[in-house]
Structure 1
Amino acid sequence: MEEKSLVKLDRIDRSILAQLQENGDLSNTDLADRVGLSPSPCLRRVRLLEEAGIIVRKVTVLNARKLGLTLTAMVQIGMDRHTPDRFETFEKTVAGYPEVQACYLITGQDADYLLQVIVPDMDAYQSLLLERITRIPGVTGVHSSFVMRKVVDRPALPLNYV
């Protein structure tokens, strides 16, 4: 998949993005005040950032612990064959598991994929692993590590490079 060319952002664009990453519920008026624009030009810039694909979507971040989701696992997955059909099957399957928060195709490890999984407890993890993940065609190895504490949990992207 070819990526569009990078969009050149100015200081105000970066400020808009920083404010929206911090609080996606800001009204256009509040956002305009915070970035030093009047509402119309601010809204135009937000729409341009959306059209350029820089703003992908707005979400609400939930507190996992308060919902009883207390076990986070980082799961390394090894595949039997490195073929497009094996990878496509695996990726489509795990994309359908709501417990999988992130899935990365990786290099530099014995594993092919790294999953971030969140579940209520070890029983739920065992069920996910044994009844679903290990039954995906091509999965030959699984190595699980459990998160003891989140040290950095930052959904916002660093804008100092753009």
Structure 2
Amino acid sequence: MTAASELLLDIPAIEDGSALWRIARDSRTLDLNSPYSYLLWCRDFARTSVVARSPHGGAVGFVTGYVRPDSPRTLVVWQVAVDAAHRGRGLAGAMLDDLARRAAAEGVREVETTITPDNAASHRLFMSFAARHGARTEREVLFDGGLFPGAHQPEVLYRIGPLA
């Protein structure tokens, strides 16, 4: 078990794609995308994402995000995941803070994410992120559960900003 302070926060490379997919799969809470999508994410959205690396260089956590095309001051956080062996030490928050710092340098002033009502851990993560950044949080249902194929909870949009 490695302390979060001993991990390197980095921009993902294409070679990290399969590890990100594995971490997402093993989380058992995230909607799992295809392995191909994680490779694309590491190529096309690397600058708006972060990977946490162990001292040996392997990925142990990630945050994927993108800047909304119609709102260039808004970073959408798509997924946050930490390998089970590294949970509970503040790594998810550290990755979000690192990404927000980098995105703010590019003009981002607001973060958006969606969270299902039963995901208490993500709710706590993003509410504490908002508090650390002196930002207010607005919430509203973005996608009703009925829009998804099969059974799915609604996705609640968290709009956090402006970032201090």
Scaled by the length of structure 1, the TM-score of the pair is 0.29
Higher Cα Rg: structure 1 or 2? 1
Comparing both chains, which one has the higher relative contact order based on Cα–Cα distances under 8 Å and sequence gaps of 6 or more?
1
